[in-house]
Amino acid sequence: MIGMLTGRVESVEADTALIDVGGVGYEVRMSATDLSRLHTGTEARVYTYMNLSQDAVTLHGFLDQASKKTFLQLIKVSGIGPKVAQSLLSTLTAGQLARAIADNDAAALAKAPGLGKKGAQKIILELKGSIDLSQIEGASPSGAKVQAQVDTGMEQVIEGLISLGWRQQDAQQAVAEACEDNDIPTPLATDDVPRVLRLALALMDRGR
pLDDT tens digits, 115-169: 888 888 989 888 877 765 555 555 444 433 334 444 677 788 888 888 888 877 7
Angle between helices 168-181 and 193-206 (to 10 degrees): 110
**How many domains, in total, are found in the chain?**
3
What span, in angstroms and rounded, lies between the C-alpha atoms of 63 and 115?
23
The residue segments making up the domain with residue 46 are 2-60
Confidence (pLDDT) at 102 = 85
Which of 172, 144, 143 has the alpha carbon at shortest distance from 157?
172
Q: Among the three residues 60, 82, 101, which one is the final residue of a domain in this structure?
A: 60
Class of residue 21 by CB neighbours under 10 A (exposed 0-12, middle 13-18, buried 19+):
middle
Distance CA 158, CA 162 (A): 6
Q: Look at strands 57-62 and 24-29 and give their pairing.
A: parallel
Distance in angstroms (rounded) separating the CA atoms of residues 55 and 192: 44
142 inside domain: no
Given a cut of 70, the residues of the chain with pLDDT beneath it are 131-151, 207-208
> What pLDDT, on the 0 to 100 scale, is given for residue 50?
92
Same domain as 168, residue 181 = yes
Return the CATH number at 75: 1.10.150.20
Across the chain, which distance is largest between two alpha carbons, in Å?
A: 49
Do 68 and 104 fall within a single domain?
yes
Helix (H, G, I), strand (E, B) or coil at 147: coil
**pLDDT at residue 43, rounded to an integer:** 93
159 shares its domain with 126: no
CATH code of 54's domain:
2.40.50.140
